[in-house]
Structure 1
Amino acid sequence: MKVYRHVNIVTCDQDFHIYLDGVLAVKDSQIVYVGQEKPEVLEQAEQIIDYQGAWIMPGLVNCHTHSAMTGLRGIRDDSNLHEWLNDYIWPAEAEFTPDMTTKAVKEAETTAETIARTRTIIEEILGYENPNFKVMVAPHSPYSCSRDLLEASLDMAKELDIPIHIHVAETKEESGIILKRYGKRPLAFLEELGYLNHPSVFAHGVELNEREIERLATSHVAIAHNPISNLKLASGIAPIIQLQKAGVLVGIATDSVASNNNLAMFEEGRTAALLQKMKSGDASQFPIETALKALTIEGAKVLGMEKQIGSLEVGKQADFLVIQPQGKIHLQPQENMLSHLVYAVKSSDVDDVYIAGEQVVKQGKVLTVEI
């Protein structure tokens, strides 16, 4: 058992417990103790790591991103979503595998063929039986996918008993496209197809209106909020406060590096808080605790992984990050830790990261890949 002592712990659990000068104990990949220091915990330790006043919190949960776009950072700035997608992103992605793209165009792959190929990939991943893998069926959006493809995607998700992940209500232009094509707004169209009755993650939700929010509150849908991407593409500000008050799950996400242009989750949490204060005209909205939970446990709930990650609790996987505030002027005074975690911390402040008890970042250096 490893014991991390002299740490200030933000658990992000249901009651938002904070342990100052506390202890976190990990055995194998799981948390076996979190709380104030006890002699019996230290006595059982095979290794004691003294973090000398560092801050520990759960690993941040990014609910929506695009790994394949990692090589497209900076490809196009100063464009709205649909120009950005049609004129830059999709042509660039086609160049990733030009032979396959040409073949697909020539053979005019059917919906059935697309679904069959996708199912083969998903079943292979599910076969790994890795608890860190959560697979979802992800048709891009109501405006870029045919009705047949959307229906077939939902059918496959039901058959495999896995969730759906899709972009929804991201822009006014999207709403106009769907209204013209199907005679109804995106949410109503997806409800007609049955999406609201299946566990789903809807990315963005910028254009949701009051009636749609009320409907989502009785559905199986959670929202992945991408504040910086929505700002950069001038898509708008999602009605996050209204969604949360209605009881809809909301997690924080970065979207891709091509529309952001980084994957800095602390920056996303800070931006989300500031935007909701400004949008509502009420500085008390989206307080610190809400922001930190949206970055962690709420994001885990959005992905259906809250029993495994998202908070520091006994029995959960030991996913956590460590920030040493000493010597960092922007993190002083240290007693205002919670405020700093939302409004001052930078990604570069993260010293160590652990996933399932294994250290993957040490003193800011990633251990698992060469950079």
Structure 2
Amino acid sequence: MSTLLIKNAKNIITMDGERRRFPGGSLYAVGQEIVAIGYDLPYETADTVIDATGKIVYPGLINTHHHLYQNLTRNIPFVQKTELFDWLVTLYDIWRHLRPEDIHISAVVGLGELLKTGCTTAADHFYCFPNGVSGELIDEEIRAAQELRIRFHPTRGSMSLGRSKGGLPPDEVCQDEETILRDSRRLIETYHDSNRFAMLRIGVAPCSPFSITGDLLRESAALARSYGVRMHTHLAETQDEDRFCLEKLGMRPLEFMEQTGWVGDDVWYAHGIWFNDAEIHRLGSHCCGVAHCPTSNMKMGSGVMPIVKMLGAGVNVGLGVDGSASNDGSNMLSEARIAHLLHNLMHGTTAIGAEDCLHLATMGSAKVLGWADDIGSLEVGKAADLFMIDSRQLGFAGALHDDGALPVLTGLSQTVDMTIVGGKIVVKDGRLVNVDEEKAAIQAQAASFRLLNEAALRTKIDYSRMRTEGKYPVG
């Protein structure tokens, strides 16, 4: 197995249980595993030796919620002033034209952005399967993750409740439940790795209460637990969702989850904004996790997750960037910063510190994904997943007083100097090692233009008016 030695670091921020720091420390890894960290290590050479003079080492960030395909539909003017349900209805008519090659290039872009901002593990929620297009779309995301060499946790999403059955999405992006369950089994049996230091794990993830049936939830839960994989869905994101569940189901969203078997320490939800106090207590009792996506929630005007109450109730909380159509980027350092600023505003400046937000993005997220034995902190026995920033950058001048808070509060370009996953360098000098960034960007933009052009030809969206007004460029 290959070996890695990082020496002479300005500081190593571990995010372990004691939040230890090692100023001037070193780290040694064999294969994926850290075998020594601290001072006076008995190792002088390795296959890869990094002199980290002036650089601060952090555990890799962990993204608990994303929709990678949405990288092709960000910064679109006509969905910038809409709330979630109207936003979804409009974008579904674009996403219905997705092709397998679109899924691959959007994943390259999104996962590449994550790596360049210190993220080493990413979960994704893919649920949009257009009729007449290959059902093996998550395979394209997996291929991209393997090319980039990021630790990946895709979840097989699904929508079965189309508009003709009283749901929100058009029927053209929904699937029948037999197809959904069959492909979920295929993905788990083909790709899921439950071993230590796995690079790929699969989850099961029906989309949301307004796009799935109770039967699909029950069957999905039974399937996931028969394979021992985790379960994920959107929940309590908007007040519209609350109203939908009360009108259509006669109950609130969390009660729907409880009645269909979707609670437990193997379940995590995205957003969790509109839980009441009693529900937050039940979440803690159930040991559920929640992916906090502050940037997306702010952009969509969805609300603010009651994070202080959740943490106080013992709910596992991690950070997620959400899809780039509601964030416009895949930047975990930015997400930690936004979380810090948002909760300073909402809960006061003593509630959630900058280093606490870094902890949410590392150990908090690892617990949400059920992966805390392997990742989330820099400790002996854990994976050598980390990123480094050079403290000698202009953006850090005058700020080198608290290295734990530093990347959350300062250095707002937020591209890291180096990212390492499983002991292998995947970002060097701020550039992706395994992918041509410019080529990927050009391909992704061409795919984005094609998607909107196809939507213009085949849907009722008035793109011709937007072109006349200069709001939509023709690719």
> The TM-score by the shorter chain falls in which range?
over 0.9
C-alpha offsets along residues 289-339 of structure 1, whole Å, 9 cap, x if unaligned? 311110111101110111111100011110000100113234433233223
Distance 1:244 1:128 in 2: 28
Distance 1:246 1:233 in 2: 27
Distance 1:232 1:179 in 2: 25
Show the counterpart of 1:82. 85
Show the counterpart of 1:131. 198
Structure 1: segments with no counterpart, 5+ residues: none
Q: Kindly state the Cα deviation for residue 198 of structure 1 after the two structures are TM-superposed.
A: 5.7
Show the counterpart of 1:329. 395
Show the counterpart of 1:232. 299
**Residue 4 (1) aligns with residue 44 (2):** no
Show the counterpart of 2:59. 58
Cα 1:22–1:197 change in 2 (3 A) is closer
Distance 2:47 2:245 in 1: 60
Distance 1:10 1:198 in 2: 28
Distance 1:304 1:139 in 2: 19
Question: Which shows bigger deviation, 255-264 or 129-138?
Answer: 129-138
Show the counterpart of 1:33. 36
Instruction: Report if aligned partners of 2:334, 2:414 keep a CA contact under 8 Å in 1.
Output: no
TM-score, structure 2 normalization:
0.73
Q: Kindly state the Cα deviation for residue 97 of structure 1 after the two structures are TM-superposed.
A: 4.1
C-alpha offsets along residues 138-174 of structure 1, whole Å, 9 cap, x if unaligned? 1001111112221221121121111111000000000
Distance 2:360 2:65 in 1: 13
Q: Kindly state the Cα deviation for residue 349 of structure 1 after the two structures are TM-superposed.
A: 3.8
Q: Kindly state the Cα deviation for residue 177 of structure 1 after the two structures are TM-superposed.
A: 0.1
Aligned length: 367
Cα 1:127–1:34 change in 2 (3 A) is closer
Give runs of aligned pairs for residues 1-371 of structure 1, distance below 5 A.
Answer: 1-7=3-9, 8-35=11-38, 37-38=39-40, 40-43=41-44, 45=46, 48-75=49-76, 76-88=79-91, 90-97=92-99, 101-102=131-132, 110-126=176-192, 131-197=198-264, 199-280=266-347, 282-346=348-412, 348-371=414-437
- Tell me the amino acid that sits aligned with residue 19 of structure 1: F
Q: Kindly state the Cα deviation for residue 70 of structure 1 after the two structures are TM-superposed.
A: 2.0
Distance 2:297 2:395 in 1: 31
Distance 1:123 1:5 in 2: 41
Distance 1:127 1:11 in 2: 26
Q: Kindly state the Cα deviation for residue 118 of structure 1 after the two structures are TM-superposed.
A: 2.6
Instruction: Report if aligned partners of 1:203, 1:225 keep a CA contact under 8 Å in 2.
Output: yes
How large is the Cα RMSD of the aligned pairs?
2.3
Distance 2:397 2:281 in 1: 40
Distance 1:347 1:3 in 2: 27
TM-score, structure 1 normalization:
0.93
Question: Which shows bigger deviation, 93-102 or 222-231?
Answer: 93-102
Distance 1:363 1:210 in 2: 46
